[in-house]
Structure 1
Amino acid sequence: MNWESSYKIDNPIPSFLGRYKVVKSKYFTGYMVETTFCPERYDDQFFSQLNIPFPSSLVKAVPSRRAEFLAGRSCAHLALNELGVPVREIPIGINRSPVWPEGVQASITHAGNRAICAASTTSQGLGIDYETTIAGKTAEEIKRNIVSDSEESLLSESGFPQEQWLTMAFSIKESLFKALYPLVGKYFDFLDAEITTLLPLQQKLELKILRDLSSRVLSGNTYTGTYQPHQDGILSIVEY
């Protein structure tokens, strides 16, 4: 297996957060932390208990949104601290993107009741995404918005069920978006990038950009991603 994980860090609010889990990969140069959280047990006072400032942009947010934000930020603070870059606050930037300290590339993902943050001081760009497996009916309904005909042919040859390879494609393209957003500065579509190579044994794939997205992300650019079955779905990383 490419990924190993071990429980090692307790948390100060066991009623809300599960134990922090450190996830390692031979393909990833940084530090990755995940936790589970219980939205039903969330309380605003948990921000101060975790020494994380409550952002004004969350004043009108529903409790479940506040809960996932706090869980993700708590993972991010731990990851940055482990890298030797402790921070008091990770501000919210344009389109709700985190503003990371200079010299740090990082990414946060949420799905269900799970939050994960990956951070690195050696990569130039980084995106991660965790997706629970897309159910069969939903997979069929959204497939054309996620992959092209050629991608479907490539991915279906992997031998994985459609639900699994579509979840992987969805996740890796989300990771690609997060990794490239600082260079692109705007949203782009799932079909603006194409999976051209799949290496199931190495759990790697290659994506190609199909149109100019910015002066720094041009048509024909390629990026490598990794993926791994994780909990009830797929965890993917794009790092360059």
Structure 2
Amino acid sequence: MALFYVDSCCAAPCCHLHQVSPWHRTFPGGFQTFTGSGRASCHVVCAWCAICSVYYLFTMPHPNRFCLDALGIDHLPALATCLHPLPIRTSGDILLAAGIHLREARFEPARFDPNLFILLNIARPDVLRGAAPARLAEFLAGRYCAGHALLAAGRGWTSVPVGAQREPCWPVGVCGTISHTRRGGHGHAIAAVAHDIGDRLALGVDLEDLIDDAAQPALAEMILDAQEQELRPTDEDPARWLTLAFSAKESLFKAVFPDVRSYLDFQVARLVTAQAGWFCLRLMQDIHPRWRAGQLIWGRYQWSGIRLTTLLVHPDPDAPAG
């Protein structure tokens, strides 16, 4: 295999150096080999490593902390084919809420490699021991998005652990939420985080694909009450209304979980309206001193084909009045 020299001066100023061994360090853009004291004007890499480094530099932001001497280059293509970061949402997007940092990625479960947990510096929890590759892939993608959302919030890369009830455990002073969905061999993950020093912010996000026709009757009976059925606008497709009600309530459950510390029934809230990217839920019973019956809670939603994203931020200063 051909070997060549690459000037390392451009990489040296990169921040967040992470020591892997006396001879190797990793950078936000890729892998670098040092000699002697750790300062060098050039390093020797194989052609394949160089290609991978360029790929990560432009497509996979910090941190890409991997160690070639531990894993070998055979695992690098898995990172390039399993995870695909999505563009950051731009101004005018309904899901862009003030102070909320969103990060998203597509993932390919069939291309999952368990060594990606090491490559991405993401802890693999014991509760997933023996889990199917598709489940591991969606967990990895969700934590990958969470790590980058934390970076965007200025908190540094953190591997978000799993709590006693399998909830994500965020750093002190941070409110966060994760969701993922997959269908037909393709998946989508999203994470949202915000600073929350006073523990007053509630945040929930959910991804859902349009509920199949065959599943609608059973799910409608579980998710919707009689009034919700009647509140559906006449021009709204029943499957989309059902999917929105399901996803909106899932976002609510994630948002209130830090307060209630339990999983709730779908009948605790009712979807009362949804228009122009905003939905409104009414709490039907007291679930916490902060969350009382009759309370109206607004959230945001967006359809992309058959995929729905809901985001609940409470309080949300941009929510419609009423």
TM-score above 0.5: yes
Which residue does 2:112 correspond to in 1? Answer: 42
Task: Name the structure 2 match of 1:136.
Answer: 213
Could you list the runs of 5+ residues in structure 2 that have no partner in the other structure?
1-57, 65-78, 315-322
Aligned residue-pair number? 229
Asked if 1 retains the 8 angstrom alpha-carbon contact of 2:150 and 2:158, the reply is no
Cα distance in 1, alignment partners of residues 225 and 313 from structure 2: 23
CA distance in 1, matches of 2:305, 2:188: 10
Q: Where does the alignment leave 5 or more consecutive residues of structure 1 unmatched?
A: 1-8
TM-score (norm 1): 0.89
Q: Is the 8 A contact 1:111 1:132 kept in 2?
A: yes
Shift of 1:177: 0.5
Q: Which residue matches 2:256?
A: 180
- Name the residue aligned to 2:204: 127
* AA aligned opposite 2:103: V
1:183 match: secondary structure: helix
Shift of 1:192: 1.0
**Residue 235 of structure 1, CA deviation:** 0.6
Contact 1:33–1:75 (CA under 8 A) maintained in structure 2: yes
| 1:150-200 CA distance string (max 9 Å, x none) | 11111233x1211111111111010011001111111111111012233x1
Alpha-carbon shift at residue 231 of structure 1 (Å): 4.3
> Identity of aligned pairs, percent?
33
Provide the residue aligned with 1:103 in structure 2.
173
Q: Find the residue that maps to 1:100 and give its secondary structure.
A: coil
Output the amino acid matched with 2:166: R
CA deviation string 1:85-138 (max 9, x = no partner): 113321111321001112211111111111111112257010010100012221
Query: Which amino acid is 1:15 matched to?
Result: T
Aligned equivalents of 1:197 and 1:39: distance in 2?
36
Partner of 2:138: 68
Matching residue's letter, 1:10: T
Distance verdict in 2 for CA 1:19–1:214, change over 3 Å? closer
Q: Distance between the aligned counterparts of 2:292 and 2:141, measured in 1?
A: 35
Q: 2:152 aligns with which of 82, 89, 96?
A: 82
- Go from structure 1 to structure 2 and tell me whether the alpha carbon gap of 1:111 and 1:39 turns closer, same or farther (over 3 Å shift): same
Q: Match for residue 83 of structure 2?
A: 17
Partner of residue 97, structure 2: 28
Alignment correspondent of 2:192: 118
Instruction: Tell me which residue corresponds to 1:4.
Output: none
Q: Contact (CA 8 Å) 2:104, 2:188: kept in 1 or not?
A: yes
Aligned 8 A contact 1:35 1:116 in 2: yes
Matched to 1:105, the amino acid is C
The aligned residue for residue 235 of structure 1 is: 309
Residues 127 and 239 of structure 1 are in contact (CA less than 8 Å); yes or no, is this contact kept in structure 2?
yes
From 252, 259, 267, the counterpart of 1:191: 267
Note if contact 2:203-2:254 (Cα within 8 Å) is conserved in structure 1: yes
Instruction: Determine whether 1:216 maps to 2:322.
Output: no
Q: Distance in 2 between matches of 1:32 and 1:88?
A: 15
Equivalent-residue separation in structure 2 for 1:238 and 1:129 (angstroms): 9
TM normalised by structure 2 equals 0.67
Conserved 8 A contact 1:156-1:162: no
CA offset at residue 76 of structure 1?
Answer: 0.4
**Alpha carbons of structure 1 residues 231 and 73: separation in structure 2 relative to 1, 3 Å:** farther
More RCO (CA 8 Å, sep 6+): 1
